């Protein structure tokens, strides 16, 4: 009987894995997640922003990294709005502006924040880093005078308040990035020359390449992958999709390890009989 453990039908494994992951997503159990120093540094930097200051969010990702980066944006917005920090968003990726509108609406409603007053979505502007560099001089000109939905920037209170991407108008930058253009453009063309502190939130595969910038102090923190988003949710006391996603990942991995153990036990038992 025990030898059969090494030949469990793979379909059974797949069905159990799907059930475990689905149940964890539908009803998270809140498995403990240890908060890393990079996420903590980023959280502390945003938390230290005074009410009324401006947080600039770079939207440099698309739907392909939805699982990791949608929760990142949601929890950062939740944190900023709860602190009464104003948010300005700009996208160097074509879908970034649409994603911001989609995710900002429910968080803004939760805290009774108004578009154009408490947050401003400049949206996607072609040109990549060229458009980004132009915003250091004049946002209105670089954005062709309109936001994501074609509304004149000059007609909004926040559009009138934040004239340049400089330290005189922006207190902190968080770039949520999945590739190029992205964080290095902000580092080279904005953060370093304009002396605006920044942090980044990247997909898990990009974490090793961004860590040296954290260690050198050029980034004031880093949120890495789904785990980083879950850590930030814990710090912000706003558990969401990242925390439930970590539950599903952890339980799914535990189930796979369990089947590996079963297979080895079956193999050793059959070997002993021979």
**Residue tagged 């954005």 (tokens):** 143
Dist. CA 136–CA 164, nearest whole Å: 5
- What is the structure's pLDDT at 22? 62
| Residue 93, phi-psi category: left (phi > 0), alpha (psi -120 to 50), beta (remainder) | beta
Neighbours of 159 (CB within 10 A): 23
Q: Specify whether the CB–CB gap between 214 and 37 falls below 8 A.
A: no
Residues 91 and 133 in one domain: yes
Residues 19 and 120 in one domain: no
- What is the structure's pLDDT at 139? 96
Residues 88 and 157 in one domain: yes
- What is the structure's pLDDT at 175? 98
Residues 75 and 205 in one domain: yes
Residues 247 and 230 in one domain: no
- What is the structure's pLDDT at 61? 95
Residues 191 and 245 in one domain: no
The residues pairing with 152 across neighbouring beta strands, listed in sequence order, are 146
- What is the structure's pLDDT at 234? 86
- What is the structure's pLDDT at 252? 55
Residues 161 and 272 in one domain: no
Q: What is the mean pLDDT of the chain?
A: 86
Residues 47 and 162 in one domain: yes
- What is the structure's pLDDT at 156? 95
Residues 221 and 97 in one domain: yes
Neighbours of 19 (CB within 10 A): 11
Alpha helix stretches (DSSP H) within the chain: 10-26, 37-47, 66-82, 96-110, 129-137, 139-142, 157-161, 183-186, 192-194, 207-215, 225-236, 241-273
The DSSP 8-state label assigned to residue 179 in this structure reads S
CA-CA distances (angstroms) from residue 145 to 90, 115, 152, 159?
13, 16, 6, 9
Dist. CA 37–CA 90, nearest whole Å: 27
Residues 6 and 107 in one domain: no
- What is the structure's pLDDT at 32? 61
- What is the structure's pLDDT at 225? 87
Spans of the chain below 70 pLDDT: 1-10, 12-14, 16-33, 240-256, 258-274
Structure tokens at 202: 């990247």
Say which residues have a Cβ less than 8 Å from residue 125's Cβ, sequence separation at least 6: 90, 91, 92, 131, 142, 143, 144
Residues 57 and 162 in one domain: yes
- What is the structure's pLDDT at 237? 81
Containing structural domain, residue 247? 1-30+241-274
Residues 139 and 224 in one domain: yes
Total domain count for the chain?
A: 2
First to last CA, the chain: 15
């Amino acid at each position: 009987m025990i030898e059969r453990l090494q030949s469990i039908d793979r379909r059974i494994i797949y069905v159990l894995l799907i059930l475990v992951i689905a149940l964890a997503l539908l009803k998270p159990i809140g498995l403990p997640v240890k908060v890393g120093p990079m996420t903590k540094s980023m959280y502390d930097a945003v938390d230290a922003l005074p009410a009324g200051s401006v947080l600039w969010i770079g939207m440099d990702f698309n739907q392909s990294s939805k699982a990791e980066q949608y929760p990142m944006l949601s929890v950062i917005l939740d944190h900023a709005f709860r602190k009464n920090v104003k948010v300005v968003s700009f996208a160097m990726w074509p879908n970034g502006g649409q994603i911001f509108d989609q995710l900002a609406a429910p968080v803004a409603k939760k805290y009774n924040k108004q578009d154009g007053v408490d947050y401003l979505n400049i949206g996607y502007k072609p040109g990549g880093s060229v458009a980004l560099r132009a915003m250091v001089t004049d946002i209105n000109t670089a954005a062709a005078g309109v936001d994501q939905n074609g509304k004149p920037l000059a007609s909004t209170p926040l559009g009138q308040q934040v004239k340049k991407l400089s330290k005189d108008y922006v207190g902190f930058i968080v770039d949520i990035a999945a590739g190029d253009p992205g964080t290095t453009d902000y580092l080279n063309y904005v953060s370093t020359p304009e002396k605006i502190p920044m942090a980044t939130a990247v997909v898990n595969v990009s974490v090793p390449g961004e860590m040296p910038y954290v260690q050198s102090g050029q980034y004031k923190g880093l949120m890495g992958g789904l785990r980083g988003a879950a850590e930030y949710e814990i710090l912000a006391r706003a558990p969401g999709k990242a925390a439930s996603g970590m539950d599903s990942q952890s339980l799914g991995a535990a189930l796979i390890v369990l089947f590996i153990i079963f297979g080895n036990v079956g193999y050793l038992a059959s070997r002993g009989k021979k």
